[in-house]
Every structure is written in C-alpha cells, then in structure tokens.
C-alpha cells in the first residue's frame, strides 16, 4: 500500500508504476515522471534518492527530457529503480512521505500535466502477429483456402513503419488523401480516404540495444524489453489496398500512429503472464521459448461520433490472443544482425480474438463494409467519420488491484482540400 491514495479501480497502483514524460503550464520543461494514483512523481526532483549499486552512478538519467537514457541502462537498472520507487512510495517508508517540502515539489496532479511521447523513437516496426486477425483479413481478400500466407505460421511477419508520425494520445489525426482504385475496371482516383480505420494494438519499447551484426538470442530477449503501451495504428484501407503490392503498407499507414503516454514496465505485467499460444508447426530453434510471455491484458475500443451523448464500446479483446510473443518478435527482428536501439518501438499488429466482439479493426467488425457497426441511439459505422473520437483502454486485474495503461485517444480531422 502507498501513502498516496490510490482508488481500487485506478490503473496506477503501487504494483504498476509506469514511466512517462510530462510538463506543466508553469514549467514547460519535459521531465520523467511515474504515475501513482492520480498523481505524478517527478523523478527530476528526487533523482538523488536512487542510491542503489547501479542507479547511484546514473542518477542523471532522471534529469533527461526523454526515457531513452534510462532505457539504455538495461535490465538490472530498471529492476533496481522499480524497487527503489516501490520502497519510497510505500506507506511505511518515511523518506518521502514525511518530507512535506520535498513532496510539494515532487508530486504533480495528473490533471495538471501535459503528456508527451515517452522516448525519441528512432525506429518503428509493426508486426502482424494475431492469427485471428490475419485469418479474417486473408479470408476477405483471398478466400478461406488461402487465408494465411505460407510464411505466416513460420515467422513473425512485420514491416518497418514511420517513426516520425507516431504521436502521443490526444493528438488529432488528419484524414489522409491518396490514390485509390474503388472500381477495378477504371483507373485509380485521388482523394480523401473513405475507409479510414482503427487498429487495436499494443507495442513495446526496446531498452538495451544490440550491436550491428549481433542478434539478440531469445533466451536474453526479456532483458531488452523495457515496457508496453497501448497503440492505435490508424489505417486507410482503400489507399492500402491499391498500393501494398508488392512491398507492403506505405501511405495507407504512415499518416499517424497513436500511443498511450505511460510505459508499463514488464515486471509489473509478469504476474499476468499466461501460457503461450500452441504453435504448430513448431518454430525453428531460434524462435523457441517455453516460459510464458503472453499476457492477460483486457482491451477495449470505444468510439464517440459528433452529436453522440457518450462513448460506445465497439470491441472487447485481450492481448492473450496473440500467436507470436514479444520475445519471438525481437529475436526474429535481430536474427539477421539488425541492430535495435533504446527507444525503438515494436508493435503487435492488430489484436483480434476468435469472436466478433473481439475483432480489433472496423475492417473486421463491419466485415469489409458489408454490415454496420451499431453505436446505439440510431448511430452506425462501417469506417470512421470526421469528428469521430476513438479511445483504447487496457488493464490487467487480480487480487483487488489493477495494472493499467491509461488511455490512447485520437480524433479524426477532415482531410485537407487539394
């Protein structure tokens, strides 16, 4: 229990302690903070309290405007910092609790904070690791007999996304324009996307990197995974459908990707680990691991259109539906010697489960626009309209406490006139 009041339904209990970057109106400097209850603990104020054998040498990491330096310190530094924070914030520890002057400087109400991207994201990779999602999309575009491509069950399929257009929750997203070919008997046309979609995803930040030419073995992969965020990887389906052969997604994806601001440490998620998906055929040796590294994270997508009284939940899913694990994704990403760096972002791909309510995209929920998604009150959608606000939330829960991620929100702005 913490001396900071934490509601039972709070995402940010003492069991969580996610890291983020924030500023305030009266202090625009970007600082590293940790969420606890409805407060943020400013680590740039209490950096000197990190006196363990590792962090005592690297206290300046908490004076930085991003998490990159701290991420780069590696696994033992993260674990030690987490233990220090849990001790400092516990109800029976007086160091911070009884220092009224220090507390007044160190704690900031979350509703007074402006949140920023947690890290300078050097590179962004998006995987395609939900079997249910890949099967659904394959059925739509290739038929049931060819739903999964021959490589899908053999390796974690992925592509390199655009890091420059990854934005923090709350940033509006402009409807993209591009080439589309809605009528296959006619030439392509240019204009605003008419099939703008969401993608329910999660992503992890790379901590310690690797040298060029030196793969990260799967046995060590967990030491390079810093923590997780929620993600909405917005997608223009009509632009993507025309452009993606033969090199994959491009303008249909790189116009915007939204992530939640709080990075939940993997150590906070380990109590919610579940057995990995049964993989048949068995992966090649470099992708094999037996320890559970899939997680029971409840995920929700809500939509509020202009004129609607409230949010309508359109998807209830779970991260445990993933086929390939994060360890496998990272091991595969680097097996050819590719180097990853602190702050790199690796995403899951759309997360869908076996039932229609668990489908993580409007493409699936409307089955390629063939049926309406009911929002209540006479409101329906097949794809997104201008003014739609989409919010993703997620949390783990057990024994009376939650480990949650906050919100991942974006609102659609009209396309620019060309």
Task: Give the pLDDT confidence of 348-379 residue by residue, as tens digits.
Answer: 999 999 999 999 999 999 999 999 999 999 99
Instruction: Quote the CA–CA distance of 339 and 334 in Å, as a whole number.
Output: 6
* Catalytic residue (one of 15, 30, 116, 133): 133
Do 192 and 238 touch, CB atoms closer than 8 A? no
Q: What's the average model confidence in pLDDT over 38-52?
A: 98
Q: What's the average model confidence in pLDDT over 394-400?
A: 94
* Short-list 131, 262, 259, 154, CA closest to 199: 259
- 68-126 residue pLDDT tens: 999 999 999 999 999 999 999 999 999 999 999 999 999 999 999 999 999 999 999 99
- 11-29 residue pLDDT tens: 999 999 999 999 999 999 9
Q: Say if residue 418's pLDDT is above 90.
A: no
Q: What confidence score (pLDDT) does residue 400 get?
A: 87
What are the C-alpha distances in Å from 28 to residues 22, 68, 192, 263?
Answer: 9, 19, 36, 21
Q: Is 55 helix (H, G, I), strand (E, B) or coil?
A: helix
pTM of the model: 0.98
Share of the chain above pLDDT 70, in %: 100
Q: What's the average model confidence in pLDDT over 287-311?
A: 97
- Compute the mean pLDDT over every residue in the chain, rounded to the nearest whole number: 97
Instruction: Quote the CA–CA distance of 239 and 287 in Å, as a whole number.
Output: 34
Instruction: Quote the CA–CA distance of 163 and 259 in Å, as a whole number.
Output: 12
- 135-170 residue pLDDT tens: 999 999 899 999 999 999 999 999 999 999 999 999
- 250-269 residue pLDDT tens: 999 999 999 999 999 999 99
Q: What's the average model confidence in pLDDT over 385-402?
A: 96
Q: What confidence score (pLDDT) does residue 129 get?
A: 97
Residue 254 phi, psi (nearest 5): -90, 10
Share of the chain above pLDDT 90, in %: 98
Q: Which residue has the tokens 């739609």?
A: 388
| Annotated catalytic residue 133 | yes
Task: Outline where DSSP puts E strands in 170-321.
Answer: 173-174, 177-180, 189-192, 196-197, 200-206, 225-232, 235-236, 257-259, 264-265, 273-274, 294-295, 298-304, 312-318
């Amino acid at each position: 229990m913490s001396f900071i009041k934490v509601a039972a339904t709070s995402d940010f209990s003492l069991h969580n302690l996610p890291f983020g970057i924030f500023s305030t109106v009266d202090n625009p400097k970007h600082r590293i903070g940790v969420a606890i209850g409805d407060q943020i603990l400013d680590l740039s104020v209490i950096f000197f309290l990190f006196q363990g054998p590792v962090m005592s040498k690297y206290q300046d990491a908490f004076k930085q405007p991003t998490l990159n330096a701290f991420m780069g310190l590696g696994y033992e530094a993260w674990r030690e910092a987490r233990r220090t924070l849990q001790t400092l914030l516990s109800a029976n520890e007086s160091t911070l609790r009884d220092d009224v002057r220090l507390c007044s400087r160190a704690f900031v109400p979350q509703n007074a904070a402006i949140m920023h991207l947690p890290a300078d994201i050097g590179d962004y990779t998006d995987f395609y690791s939900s079997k249910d999602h890949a099967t659904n999309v394959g059925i739509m575009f290739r038929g049931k007999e060819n739903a999964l491509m021959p490589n899908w069950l053999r390796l974690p399929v992925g592509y390199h996304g655009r890091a420059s257009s990854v934005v923090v929750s709350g940033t509006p997203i402009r409807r993209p324009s591009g080439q589309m070919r809605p009528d296959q008997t006619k030439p392509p046309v240019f204009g605003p996307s008419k099939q703008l979609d969401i993608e329910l995803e999660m992503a992890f930040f790379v901590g310690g990197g690797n040298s060029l030419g030196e793969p990260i073995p799967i046995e060590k992969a967990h030491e390079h995974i810093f923590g997780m965020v929620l993600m909405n990887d917005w997608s223009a389906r009509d632009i993507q459908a025309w452009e993606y052969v033969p090199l994959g997604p491009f303008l249909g994806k790189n116009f915007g990707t939204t992530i939640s601001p709080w990075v939940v440490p993997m150590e906070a998620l380990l109590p919610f680990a579940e057995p990995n998906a049964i993989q048949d055929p068995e992966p090649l040796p470099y992708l094999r691991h037996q320890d559970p590294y899939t997680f029971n994270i409840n995920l929700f997508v809500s939509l509020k259109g202009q004129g609607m009284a409230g949010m309508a939940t359109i998807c209830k899913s779970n991260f445990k539906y993933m086929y390939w694990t994060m360890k496998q994704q990272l091991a595969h990403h680097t097996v050819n010697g590719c180097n990853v760096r602190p702050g790199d972002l690796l995403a899951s791909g759309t997360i869908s489960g076996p039932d229609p309510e668990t489908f993580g995209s409007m493409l699936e929920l409307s089955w390629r626009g063939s049926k309406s998604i009911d929002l209540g009150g006479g409101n329906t959608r097949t794809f997104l309209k201008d003014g739609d606000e989409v919010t993703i939330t997620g949390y783990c829960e057990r024994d009376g406490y939650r480990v949650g991620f906050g919100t991942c929100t974006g609102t659609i702005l009209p396309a620019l006139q060309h």
